[in-house]
Amino acid sequence: MPDDTKLAELLFPRITKVPEDYEVLYPPRDLPEGAMVTRFSPSPTGFLHIGNLMPAFIGQLCARASGGVFFLRIEDTDKKREVENGVLGILEGLSAFDILPDEGATSQSEERGAYGPYQQSRRGEIYRCYAKELVRRGLAYPCFCTEAELEAQREQQGARGLNKGYYGEWAACRDLSLAEQEAFLRAGRPFVLRLRSGGESSGRQIAFDDLIRGRIEMPENNMDAVLLKTDGIPTYHFAHAVDDHLMRVTHVIRGDEWIASVPLHLALFAACGFKPPRYAHISPLMKEDGGGKRKLSKRRDPEAAVSYFIEQGFPADSVLEYLLTLLNSNFEDWRKANPLAERGAFPFHLKKISPSGALFDLLKLTDVSKNRISLLPAAEVYGQALAWARVYDPELAAVFEQDPEYARNILNIDRETAKPRKDIAKWSELRDYLSYFYDAWLCGGFSLPETVAPQGIAPADAAAILTRYREVYAEADDREAWFQRIRELCEPLGFTPQVKEYKKNPEAYKGHVGDVSAVLRLALTGRTNTPDLFSIMGSLGRERVLARLDAALRRLTSGI
């Protein structure tokens, strides 16, 4: 028996399967030609942030557009850094933004799909099988160096101006004889398993085509990288290579911080006899700061966490719509030409992603969200807002649920028209936006401002307008009759029903029909800027309208 085969049996006596067994268990996927298999593979070591959401969203877009598969793999081999309910947090974050994998983890302990397990902590035997095969082929070996020895080696390399690492003449355990290895093993000496790199230290180049950045040339890997740690747990580099192959990943979409690891990853795929996936490395999101730009920070920027958008009540549709404007510059033009089209109809392409970091702008997101919400029917706005409020604003939820029809009528004002108002960007704004429709809201409902007369209108004139309007108000009026009554108030009270006439001869009038409407608006809503006043009055109903007119009159007359 050759020494490498003997060593493989010494290191992995309990591993009886061979790679061919797993090739049968995880065969090539039966998918259409050109179908992309993508994955989102986070570690459950912290909150889900917007930088994670981007590659997950891109992976889903690519898979669905090509008739492929998008799956979720949990890379949980680093148990020391894993946080409680970390997997659940990832799943909830993805679900909140409608990024629903076709396969993978569905809960802390459950999953779906034929290519699992989809949690790396449950795939240990698979990794050891491929590690054993690498040892058998002479492409991996045990390293018994202690951390103190490795640190001393790095210090020597630094003193000589050399690259630090385990390679070439510095790979002390690379050429141990089988007898030496057996002696260390019998003595119970801890070891890691290392790749026997075929790279040279002369800086020989490798090249690969990045789908975003084009052709990239880099020095080939010459490090004898660790494959299995002393506890038998695989490193990320080795585990992901085995997993991507067996799960039949075709495209890897990830942050550009991984570009430096590509030579090692390609070396691992080659050593294992795998076809490497195609890579697309995206740049980090940026933020304006002090006149310059910096990376969006998980520690400094609340909007880095996807929970921020959920808690603020930005609809998932709005966030994804905005992300697409960052990913493909032609999306905004496409959206203008196709305002009601499903987002999935957009011809998204990886090659149109800019290699430079996109600027994440909350103001732009707000504008996008206002546009998207303005297109929703009132029933959909009510449903989404109520679902959010039940979690984040129970008082608003209670108000909504007390009279759903009233709430939907309010939300339908200036909605489902050719030019809907764009006042709402997130559900957390609804409390203030809708409060004046409710006379008794525990944390602030309708209330009159200190000055009930709009700017430029004398209190006595405002009182006269309200007194006269109260006399002619008719709840049954249609829009035309309603406005005609307001026009008819004007001339007897010193106002003109014609705005153009007032502009030509302002000294002749106290104001125009718009000013008369402004008096009514302030009295009925407590605000100077609202949606359509006719619709507001229709929603408020006769009892509320008269009560508010009376309250405003009392305030005005008490101060005259």
Spell out the residues 6+ positions from residue 335 whose beta carbon is closer than 8 angstroms to its own. Answer: 321, 341, 346
Nearest to 89 by CA among 112, 105, 102, 71: 105
Helix/strand/coil percent split, the chain, to 5: 50, 10, 40
What is the pLDDT, as a whole number, of residue 443? 47
Question: What is the rounded CA–CA span in Å between residue 465 and residue 471?
Answer: 10
Cα–Cα distance between 517 and 500 in angstroms, integer?
16
Contact 354, 329 (CB under 8 A): yes
Rounded-to-integer distance, Cα 441 and Cα 402, Å: 12
**Cα 21 → chain centroid:** 38
With 0-12 / 13-18 / 19 or more C-beta atoms within 10 angstroms meaning exposed / middle / buried, residue 120 is buried
List the structure tokens of 45. 């070591």
Left, alpha or beta for 58 (phi > 0: left; psi -120 to 50: alpha)? alpha
Could you give the C-alpha distances from 21 to 42, 129, 228, 342, 496, in angstroms and in order?
A: 27, 10, 21, 43, 89
**Which is nearest to 483 in space by CA: 497, 495, 493?**
497
pLDDT by position in tens, the chain (length 560)? 579 999 999 999 999 999 999 999 999 999 999 999 999 999 988 778 898 899 999 999 999 999 999 999 999 988 778 888 888 889 999 999 999 999 999 888 889 999 999 999 999 999 999 999 999 999 999 999 999 999 999 999 999 999 999 999 999 999 999 999 999 999 999 999 999 998 877 778 999 999 999 999 999 999 999 999 999 999 999 999 999 999 999 999 999 999 999 999 999 999 999 999 999 999 999 999 888 899 998 888 999 999 999 999 999 999 999 999 999 999 999 999 999 999 989 999 999 999 998 999 999 999 999 999 999 999 999 999 999 999 999 999 999 999 999 999 999 999 989 899 999 999 999 999 998 999 876 446 788 888 888 988 999 999 999 999 999 999 999 999 999 999 999 999 999 999 999 999 999 999 999 999 999 999 999 999 999 999 999 999 999 999 999 999 999 988 65
| 83, 45 contact by CB (below 8 A) | yes
Listing DSSP states for 511-534 in one string gives EEHHHHHHHHHHHHHS-SS-S-HH
Residue 508 corresponds to which amino acid? A
Q: Helix, strand, or coil here: 206?
A: strand
CA-CA-CA-CA torsion sign (521, 522, 524, 527)? positive
Contact between residue 110 and residue 210 where contact means Cβ atoms under 8 Å apart = no
> What does each C-alpha distance from 269 to 86, 273, 338, 392 come to in angstroms?
29, 6, 43, 47
Q: What's the confidence (pLDDT) of residue 107?
A: 85
Parallel, antiparallel, or unpaired: how do β-strands 251-255 and 205-210 relate?
unpaired
Q: In the structure encoding, which two tokens stand for residue 157, read together? A: 């390399």
pTM of the model: 0.89
Q: Are 374 and 356 in contact (CB under 8 A)?
A: no
- Contact 238/267 with Cβ under 8 angstroms? no
pLDDT confidence of residue 289: 86
For the chain, what is the largest distance between any 2 Cα atoms, rounded to a whole number of angstroms? 113
Beta strands in 342-482 (DSSP E): none
Q: What are 205's strand-pairing partners? A: 219
Residue 477: both structure tokens together: 């009026």
Please name every residue paired with 411 in a beta bridge, in sequence order, or none if there are none: none
Q: Do 21 and 130 contact (CB within 8 A), yes or no?
A: no
pLDDT at 181: 96
Query: Rounded CA gap, 129 and 116, in Å?
Result: 16
Selection from 482, 467, 517 nearest residue 496 by Cα? 517
Q: Would you state the structure tokens that stand for residue 441, as one six-digit string?
A: 């809201």
Are residues 470 and 459 in contact, defined by beta-carbon separation less than 8 angstroms? no
All domains in the chain, ordered by first residue:
125-282 (3.40.50.620), 378-437 (no CATH), 459-559 (1.10.10.350)
CA 432 – CA 435 distance, rounded (Å):
5
pLDDT of residue 444: 61
Give the pLDDT score at 109: 82
